[in-house]
Amino acid sequence: MKLMKISNEVYETDAELVAGCVKGIRTAQEALYHRFKSILFGICLRYSEDRCEAQDILQESFIKIFTGIGQFKNEGSLEGWMKRVTVNYSIEHYRKKQRRAPTTELDESHYEEVTSIISDYEDLEMITEAIQKLPDGCRTVFNMFIVEGYSHKEIGQELGITEGTSRAQLAYARKKLSEFFLQINRVPHVVS
């Protein structure tokens, strides 16, 4: 068990940490932030174009976490709940960007089918960099499908696109990621 100590306060369990945050105790909020910021920042990086946008998403996610922490009933994982809040905000952030710049429907036939995805690659920073270079729609679909486990139907409902567009965006993301690694002559282990 990892003890969180900020100032003179010690939070031995997630339940104590949550209770402190619900009461608005600053040391509890700081402890929660420091404990989970790296994990949640990784999620934000996957959904953003760059570190600056990821930091904005992280900040807004923590605001949502702190304002909604009373909804967490200590059933299940606190980390899992916080990850879900962060993913949901990342998707919400994407939707807001799309309202400002309309989405172009992609025709699946325009892209060759790429059946491999990156896995088991040692350089996580390089993978994150490659994902960040994807266009917004492709990056969001890739993360929702590959990382979060959404179906194309669910992605379509969440993002207001067709299932076919979701599939095309994913195929395009796979193609671009493969090209990225081929271009730098560092082909990672791929799976179907």
When the pLDDT of each residue in the chain is averaged and rounded to a whole number, the result is 79
Confidence check: pLDDT of 73 > 80 = yes
Beta strand ranges found along 25-180 (DSSP E): 117-118
Residue 92 has pLDDT above 80, yes or no: yes
**Cα–Cα distances in Å, from 174 out to 67, 79, 121, 138?**
37, 29, 15, 9
Residue 110 confidence (pLDDT) above 60: no
Helices (H) and strands (E) in the chain, counts: 8, 4
User: Residue 59 above 80 pLDDT?
Assistant: yes
Residue 8 has pLDDT above 60, yes or no: no
pTM of the model: 0.62
Cα–Cα separations (whole angstroms), residue 177 to 85, 119, 125: 27, 11, 14
Instruction: Name, in order, each residue with C-beta under 8 angstroms of 169's C-beta and a sequence gap of 6 or more.
Output: 106, 137, 138, 140, 141, 142, 161
Residue among 42, 60, 61 nearest 51 (CA):
42
Query: 3-state SS of 52-72?
Result: HHHHHHHHHHHHHHHHHHHHC
Contact present, 64 and 10 (Cβ < 8 Å): no
Whether 50 has a pLDDT exceeding 70, the answer reads yes
If one counts every other C-beta atom within 10 angstroms of the C-beta of residue 4, the result is 20
Give the pairing type, strands 190-191 and 4-6: unpaired
Using a pLDDT cut of 70, give the percent of the chain over it. Answer: 77
Q: Which domains does the chain have, with CATH numbers?
A: 4-100 (1.10.1740.10), 108-191 (1.10.10.10)
Tell me: the pLDDT tens digits for 138-191?
A: 999 998 898 888 899 999 888 888 999 999 999 998 888 888 877 765 555 444
137 near 169, Cβ under 8 Å? yes
